[in-house]
Amino acid sequence: MGKLFANKLQHKKINDERYLAEICPYIHLNPKRAGLVKKLNKWGFSNYPEWIGKREGVLFDNELLNEIFGNSSNYIDYLKRFDNHKIKEYLYTPSKTGVSHEA
């Protein structure tokens, strides 16, 4: 049960590193937007603590973080200014290739 299982899942191929960099904050902010936590680093099902250097994770590779944002502090600042509407427009706009984004 729940929203995840009740609706069709959507997927979108991310071909561009810039969109990859923007989808990470979108995902990291979801628990807070949903009212599940007040502080993002308290959500145990996220790699956000790795992104901000508060937890060591075996699956986390900070190459994207360092390449795009430079460091954790810059990423935290980026999250504060993140434009949720821009990424939602990208995610929910049908592909120009005619491929559906619904699974």
Give the tens place of pLDDT for each residue, 55-81: 888 888 888 889 889 999 999 998 888
**Residue 102 within any structural domain of the chain:** no
**Residue 103 within any structural domain of the chain:** no
Q: Which domain holds residue 25?
A: 16-91
pLDDT digit string, tens, across residues 2-24: 655 666 666 777 888 877 878 88
Q: Which of 19-23, 24-28, 31-35, 43-47 has the lowest mean pLDDT?
A: 19-23
Mean pLDDT within 83-100 = 58
pLDDT for residue 71: 94
**Residue 28 within any structural domain of the chain:** yes
**Residue 5 within any structural domain of the chain:** no
**Residue 63 within any structural domain of the chain:** yes
Cα gap 65→5, rounded to integer Å: 31
User: Domain total for the chain?
Assistant: 1
Residue 100 has pLDDT above 90, yes or no: no
> CA neighbours within 13 Å on the CB side: how many for 81?
5
Residue 68: name the closest of 4, 19, 31, 33 by CA. Answer: 19
**Residue 74 within any structural domain of the chain:** yes
